[in-house]
Amino acid sequence: MSDRPFHHGNLRAALLDEAVLVLRESGVDGLSLRDLARRTGVSHGAPRSHFVDRQALLDALASTGFDRLTTAVRRALAGSGPDLAARFRAVAHAYVDFAIDDAALMELMFQAKGSNGATRESAATLFTVLDGAMGPRPTDGGDEEARTAFKMLFAATMQGIAALVASRRIERRDADGLIQAATGMMLASDLRARATTAG
């Protein structure tokens, strides 16, 4: 299942990879630096060379999590046509799928702690991609305020649906219906009209 000859330059990456697995199995509570060190075959003090403390590891995990989610969203957008409704649903599904596969990581990403620089940057990139998903900005700039509000509302709604799924408060199939309802509602809204058409 796992090799042995690590700790020769890529320990940091090895620790992060292993951490993602542990996160999936045992959640944040099951994640310990000593256990990670054990799994990668180094002494318990070794991780210190790459992460000043446990929180630093969690921050790094959140950062890479955002990167992976961004990639997933980009892929979803690339795979969907030009239709705005289809694009929205694609992004929403990428969000929810990620929340299901890596619930603990998703929690980590959307928590107050991630005040790290790299984490903020990764999160910002995701929001930029989300912005791009809304299609080209109106030539005259449009209603900038409406566009920002719409974007945040979209993110909040996706985040909310993902949280409901991750916390097992709703089933996967109900999520699909919710995504349909949410995207439909947002697309038909007056706010979207102001956000995406020239004023």
Could you tell which of a copy of itself, DNA, none binds residue 69, using a CB distance below 5 to 8 A set by kind?
none
Least spacing, CB of residue 39 vs DNA, in Å: 10
42 conformational bin, left if phi > 0, alpha if psi -120 to 50, beta if neither: beta
Closest CA to 138 of 191, 83, 193: 193
Angle, helix 172-188 to helix 144-166, in steps of 10 degrees: 170
Least spacing, CB of residue 103 vs DNA, in Å: 20
Does residue 13 sit in helix, strand or coil? helix
DSSP string, 16-77: HHHHHHHHHHHTGGG--HHHHHHHTTS-TTGGGGT-SSHHHHHHHHHHHHHHHHHHHHHHHH
| Contact window for DNA (CB under 7 A) among 30-38, 110-118, 151-159, 178-186 | 30-38
CB 63 within 8 A of CB 116: yes
Could you tell which of DNA, a copy of itself, none binds residue 186, using a CB distance below 5 to 8 A set by kind?
a copy of itself
Could you tell which of DNA, a copy of itself, none binds residue 86, using a CB distance below 5 to 8 A set by kind?
none
Q: Which residue has the tokens 């989610």?
A: 69
Would you say 128 or 167 has its CB closer to a copy of itself? Answer: 167
Closest CA to 134 of 171, 187, 179, 185: 187
Distance CA 129, CA 91 (A): 10
Among 17, 53, 101, 171, binds DNA (CB under 7 A): 53
Would you say 50 or 194 has its CB closer to DNA? Answer: 50
Among 2, 26, 49, 189, binds DNA (CB under 7 A): 49
The answer to whether 34 contacts DNA (rule: CB under 7 A) is yes
Give CA 52 to chain center in angstroms.
24
Least spacing, CB of residue 185 vs a copy of itself, in Å: 4
Least spacing, CB of residue 158 vs a copy of itself, in Å: 7
Among 28, 35, 86, 180, binds DNA (CB under 7 A): 35
Least spacing, CB of residue 9 vs a copy of itself, in Å: 31
Binding positions for a copy of itself, rule: CB under 8 A: 27, 103-104, 107, 110-115, 123, 149-150, 152-153, 155-161, 163-164, 166-170, 174, 177-178, 181-182, 184-186, 188-191
